[in-house]
Amino acid sequence: MVRVAVAQFAPGQDKAENARSVAELAARAAAEGADVVLLPEYAMFTAPRTDHRYVEAAEPLGGPFLEAAAETARSQGLHLVLGVNETADGAGPDEVAREAAHFTNTLVALGPDGERAALYRKIHLYDAFGVRESDVVRPGPIEEPETFTVDGVVFGLQTCYDLRFPEVTRRIADAGAHVLLLAAQWAPGPLKEDHWRTLTRARAIENTVYVAAAGQSGPAGAGNSMVVDPMGTAVAALGEHPFAVASAEVSAARVEEVRAVNPALSLRRFAVRARGLG
């Protein structure tokens, strides 16, 4: 068994304060026996609008915010997963100007030794519900999903708006993940909390995996962080709490038990491929 915690808070524009919040929540999770702690998308920096302030606050992966997070992972002896706005590296001379005005929305998994265990750069940008994330965010490349393993349980990474694209989670399940770690700043709005709960449970049920989903609390996020088991049951949940953790045990054995009853993955007739390729 591995204990997974989802941590919920409302990051602001003070990165040092956000790092202290991460450290406190990680300590609370460790006190509950957590082996893996998931924090929300944009845990490093959140402003009222996704604009130039995110670009200006962006850091490389070796920057001070992740250095502080790595020290937290080491001091608590756990895997720490959190969302940062990463300085975007230009792909060539023609992109220099564009990259100067963009950052990458990145989810980083740090091991108990403080080293990077896995990485995911958000593929689907939130250009919906009146927001245009793509104005300042560069989409991540389509690559094979990165995973990390804790005591035989395999974890995969995904971010916020990706939840509305079931093929993203399916690829992660195909990569061998038993648990999807989903970090989000799920914006509040009409029916948005219902969408969040419904889609989180659907991704767990259709892929027969656990989904641990950590969202920002209000005012920028809808909260409702939770851990959902492969049958779609929420085994831990935080509701609207502004600053809290909740944890649950996960196991590869439970995933296999559910798949023996519901062999949907092995019975399917279609595979997933990147759009426009092959």
Residues carrying an active site annotation: 41, 122, 160
Give the strand pairing for 79-87 and 103-110: antiparallel
At how many degrees (to 10) do helices 192-207 and 166-174 cross? Answer: 30
Supply the DSSP string of 241-276, one letter for each residue: -SSEEEEEEE-HHHHHHHHHH--HHHH-------TT
CB atoms within 10 A of CB 233: 11
Please give the Cα distance from 15 to 46 (Å, whole number): 9
Q: Is the dihedral of CA 88, 90, 94, 97 positive or negative?
A: positive
Please give the Cα distance from 246 to 125 (Å, whole number): 28
Whether cis (ω within 30° of 0) applies to the bond prior to 145 is no
